[in-house]
Amino acid sequence: MMTDILVAENINAPALEELKAGFTVLVDPNLWKSTEKLLAQVENCRALMVRNQTRVSAEVLAAAKHLEVIGRAGTGLDNIDVPAASAAGVVVVNTPDQNSMSAAELTLAMMLALARKLPAADRNVRGGGWDRQSFIGTELYGKTMGIVGLGRIGVLVALRARAMGMQIIAHDAYISPDSVAVTETHARLMELDDLLGESDFVSCHVPLTAQTAHLFNYDRFKKMKPTAFFLNLARGEVVAEQDLIRALEEKRIAGAALDVREQEPPAAGKLSELENVILTPHIAAFTREAQDRVVRSVCRDVGLVLSGRAAGNFVNFSRPRRHENRNS
């Protein structure tokens, strides 16, 4: 039986309920876990709505004979084969910027938590301790913040770090020194290896691409100061996790905060045993406000495409392009 909208992950918000007035919606929050089930279900839908866990591969697209639009409730597109979607004439929409503020705020929270060893101090008190000497931290004030990727989130982080009295340096392979991002943040642009050597905090805000996969490896961590902290709230695969563990164990860096992992959910491992590491389950975008904006935005665009109108936040094209060999 045909369904208008197939939701393959946990997406539930008033905006999705509103879509049900005009379209049939099937929500299976666990569908992303089984490729076999996804392939079977996707055959009979016009729209597929996902977060970052569903692999929308060429195989899934080939099975999705009636698909018109993929709605990505979030920004990153690394789980969607966009070229394959484009070749199949399927519109891809995402929700750029709707969760950037939440990601930036969590980055600041992580920096403060690292600098003041908050999780370990909390564990100490809960364990019956009152060990003040072990929890001498550092101030952010006067320190150098190295931002890798001065895009939407990087800029918001930089502006907030400046308000804390930090110096901003940045590396971004795609922006020019006279860009608004650089001017607004007063960032000094530099090569990545120079940034690593100068920063007290290095925060990664790049998308996952062929160029950024394992960008942070052992050689890069070795270039950081032994007192510096590393943060990744972007994509897990940007960091060679075993290399990070080695750098932490050898005390090449002072600590790390990771909201994203090479494998999600991750297997139990060494990182969870290290005191100077903060781990969260990919929650940068998980605030009430961001989720409200994200779901509203993706529902609006999916609704528009299914009603024969043009999408707003399209990644490839605004209306489906039917090819002769599809939908026949």
For residue 157, which of 232, 94, 58 has the smallest C-alpha distance? 232
The residue (of 278 and 294) whose beta carbon lies closer to ligand MLT is 294
Q: Does 52 bind ligand MLT (CB under 6 A)?
A: yes
CA-angle at 9, arms to 59 and 270, nearest 5°: 90
Q: Which residue in the shown chain puts its C-beta closest to ligand MLT?
A: 74
- 100-115 vs 152-163: helix crossing angle, rounded to 10: 40
Q: Which of 54, 99, 203, 232 is the binder for ligand MLT (CB under 6 A)?
A: 99
Query: Between β-strands 255-258 and 277-279, what pairing exists: parallel, antiparallel or unpaired?
Result: parallel
Residue 152 CB contacts under 8 Å (≥ 6 apart), including other chains = 96, 97, 100
For residue 45, which of 87, 6, 90 has the smallest C-alpha distance? 6
Q: Does 203 bind ligand MLT (CB under 6 A)?
A: no
The residue (of 258 and 285) whose beta carbon lies closer to ligand MLT is 285
State in angstroms the smallest separation of the CB of 67 from ligand MLT. Answer: 20
The residue (of 13 and 121) whose beta carbon lies closer to ligand MLT is 13
Q: Which of 108, 158, 285, 305 is the binder for ligand MLT (CB under 6 A)?
A: 285
Residue 49 CB contacts under 8 Å (≥ 6 apart), including other chains = 5, 6, 7, 8, 9, 11, 70, 71, 73, 298, 302
Binding to ligand MLT, residues 65-94 (CB under 6 A): 74-76
What is the contact mask toward ligand MLT in residues 147 to 186, using x (rule: CB under 6 A)? ----------------------------------------
State in angstroms the smallest separation of the CB of 35 from ligand MLT. Answer: 19
* Annotation marks residue 282 as catalytic: yes
* Annotation marks residue 235 as catalytic: yes
Assess contact for 4 and 46: CB atoms under 8 A.
Answer: yes
What amino acid positions are annotated as catalytic residues? Answer: 235, 264, 282
Report the interface residues with ligand MLT, using CB under 6 A.
51-52, 74-76, 99, 285
